Structure 1
Amino acid sequence: MKIQRITYLSLGTNQGNKLENLQKAIQQIATKIGSVLKVASVYETPSWGFNSTNFYNTCIKVSTYLPPDTLIEELLKIEKDLGRIRNDKDGYSDRNIDIDILLFDDEIIFSKNLIVPHPRMLERKFALAPLAEIAKNVIHPIEKVKLSTCLENCTDTSEITTIQEKLKRPIPITEKYNYIAIEGNIGAGKTSLTKMMADEFNAKIVLERFADNPFLPKFYDDNERYAFPLEMSFLADRYQQLTDDLAQFDLFKNFIVSDYYIFKSLIFAQITLQKDEYTLYRKMFDLMYKEITKPDLYVYLYQNTERLLQNIKKRGRDYEQNIEAGYLQKIHDGYINFIKTQQQNLNVLIIDVSNLDFVNNTDDYEHIINLIKNH
């Protein structure tokens, strides 16, 4: 299990649109580092150690899974992505963004690339004031006193003022949702995305147990004969799994993410069953559906048919290799009809992943996560 750690980061800027610089940095940190839990006010302070325009400074509290050495590497990348150019000259200089690690839990770190607590934070009001605002009762690991006391004892006489404008805190997925269902056609990548999200956000994962269904290979060989037992067995298993797993929430997990929602049973049944079979099936489904917890967010991954066939071939399941484009199109049409009828009942997000490779491309994955966060 991943361990969440708390770090406090100092952000500063004295070039360009300073508020925008800080907000962009916070957004990048929320995307690449972890959940932003608190954001301090913005403080205007004179430049420290050289004569230049005033700085805007703030501090944020972040929950992250990254170890300290990786954290500093990622923060340097964010600075670079936001346009910071470091020079080799000694001393201080103007910068459009500066991100420093002030604290990392209560650890004391002396390494080649990182010293924590920040060795000069106690001498600088521009770091201490916003830090004490959001962490006044936190104990400094070396001084063994509260940060509010550290601020009172600070000998820095620089003038520091709070500006009126406020920065926005990006709301993390873990605060927005208790249960997310990821859906899509065969080969759309729903299981891959579910696993990636569960790993990144420490979520309880619910995966469809299709591999254990003895009727599935038989169905692809003889559709008419095995359609009804296949769909009934899927419905029973999905109902039991979702009922059990959604009722037993893991206190050590942030939320639940699944790679299916029980309504997919009805979508597939409409395609595979004869009229009289479907009528009987629908009666059973309606009884079960009433008892199933609805997801806070229903994500449908749209993938074009050509890519679906490529993905199916690539993953190499023998019983899927004869799936035809027409069958995949019927499934997609079933999902779209379902989504249209459920717009009032479900919080739906459709994401076109036809030109994305979120498994192998970090930017594509982050794009999807941002769509979910901002939905």
Structure 2
Amino acid sequence: MLLRPLRNWAARALRREGPGSLAPGQGTRGAQHRASLRDKDRENKKEKKSVICVEGNIASGKTTCLEFFSNTTDMEVLPEPVPKWRNVRGHNPLGLMYRDACRWGLTLQTYVQLTMLDHHTRPQTSPVRLMERSIHSARYVFVENLYRSGKMPEVDYVVLSEWFDWIVRNIDVSVDLIVYLRTTPETCYQRLQLRCREEETVIPLEYLNAIHHLYEEWLIKGGLFPVAAPVLVIEADHDMQKMLKLFEQNRDRILTPETQKHGS
């Protein structure tokens, strides 16, 4: 006897409110929530942020480039975390790798991957972020060089590659522009001799040649690996004053990466 009145009440309620109706007051809250989401979407589009990576061989002028842009309004600069690589709770994996790459290559590159991932994923405080190198060059240039030169066993290479592939699939490490400071290995070697960083005193010209070849293969020739963003090539075989002029000439192209296309 009770079921028939309940069915009649439910039918009247559906006709009155409609099949998708909400409880009193809920519709207002839903509309406010949807409006809030639309506002956030507009705000996110308005605050579109860019990530630019400065790439190049050792001593190609990356630090000079970052210093040039360090006082630019609305830009944050992230130098390569070399101090961390030189001191991990009292250990220096960077120095160890240069002295015995076969033994310490995996150790260093595991930590490089972690610290570069931290740079890619930390909250961005300015519209433009300028990074020295990237997690992409760590994999496509430096890990690749260790493997091709026979100084990293295949199992180490595969494990690092698996980690990198997982990161790229699951974490946003996207880049909007790559600024490639293109230098000859000989120029880099001369600069290394002048700056005399302790770990770099054992770097031979052959190593710089290998790194140069991999950068060219990745960013210029289009080899085995994907290029993460458009590439702006700056020929960097110049003295300091000429380099600063080149950075000034390319300032607008670097600060507006969305307008760039591949090429110099």
> For the Cα contact (< 8 Å) 2:79–2:132, is it kept in 1?
yes
Identify if the C-alpha distance between structure 1 residues 371 and 178 changes in structure 2 by more than 3 Å, giving closer, same or farther: closer
Secondary structure, counterpart of 2:70 in structure 1: helix
- How many angstroms does 1:370 deviate by? 5.3
Q: Secondary structure at the match of 1:205?
A: strand
- 1:270 and 2:144 matched: yes
- Does the 8 A contact of 1:307 with 1:354 survive in 2? yes
Query: Could you say which residue in structure 2 is the equivalent of 1:354?
Result: 237
CA distance in 2, matches of 1:215, 1:344: 28
Matched residues in 2 for 1:300 and 1:270: separation?
18
Name the aligned partner's letter for residue 111 of structure 2.
S
Q: Which runs of 5+ in 1 are unaligned?
A: 1-174
Q: Which moved more, 1:255-264 or 1:196-205?
A: 196-205
From 239, 242, 266, give the equivalent of 2:117: 239
Matched residue, 1:224:
102
Residue 317 (structure 1) aligns with: 197
Q: How well do the aligned residues superpose, as a CA RMSD in angstroms?
A: 2.4
Is the alpha carbon distance of 1:270 and 1:343 closer, same or farther for their aligned partners in structure 2, counting shifts above 3 Å? closer
Shift of 1:274: 2.4
In the alignment, residue 338 of structure 1 is paired with which amino acid?
W
- In the alignment, the residues of structure 2 paired with residue 362 and residue 346 of structure 1 have an alpha-carbon distance, to the nearest angstrom, of 24
Mapped partners of 1:286, 1:338: distance in 2:
17
Deviation at 1:191, TM superposition (A): 2.2
Verify: 1:336 aligned to 2:216, yes or no: yes
Q: What is the CA-CA distance between 1:188 and the residue it aligns to?
A: 0.6
Q: CA deviation at 1:279?
A: 1.2
Q: Is the 8 A contact 1:204 1:255 kept in 2?
A: yes
What stretches of structure 2 of length at least 5 have no aligned partner? 1-46, 86-91, 147-151
TM-score between both structures, scaled by the size of structure 1: 0.48
> Which residue of structure 2 lines up, in the alignment, with residue 195 of structure 1?
67
CA contact (8 A) 1:203 1:255 kept: yes
State how 1:122-271 maps to structure 2 within 5 Å.
178-213=50-85, 214-244=92-122, 248-250=123-125, 253-266=126-139, 267-271=141-145
Supply the AA of the counterpart residue of 1:184. Answer: G
Tell me the CA shift for residue 371 of structure 1: 5.3
| Aligned residue in 2 for 1:294 | 174
Q: Name the CA distance, whole Å, in 2 between partners of 1:362 and 1:231.
A: 31
Higher helix residue share: 2
Give the deviation of 1:240 after TM superposition: 2.2
Higher relative contact order (CA 8 A, sep 6+): 2
More strand by share: 1
Structure 1 residue 211: Cα displacement: 2.0
One-letter code aligned to 1:196: F
Provide closer, same or farther for how the CA distance between residues 362 and 192 of structure 1 changes in structure 2, counting only shifts above 3 A. closer
Deviation at 1:328, TM superposition (A): 0.9
**TM-score (norm: length of structure 2):** 0.66
The answer to whether the Cα contact below 8 Å between 2:136 and 2:228 also exists between their aligned partners in 1 is no
CA-CA distance at 1:303 after TM superposition: 1.1
Match of 1:284 among 159, 163, 173: 163
Q: For this pair of structures, how many residues does the alignment match?
A: 195
Q: Structure 1 residues 304 and 363, CA, compared in 2 at 3 Å: closer, same or farther? A: same
How far off is 1:185 after superposition? 0.6
Contact kept, 8 Å, 2:49 with 2:127, in 1: the verdict is no
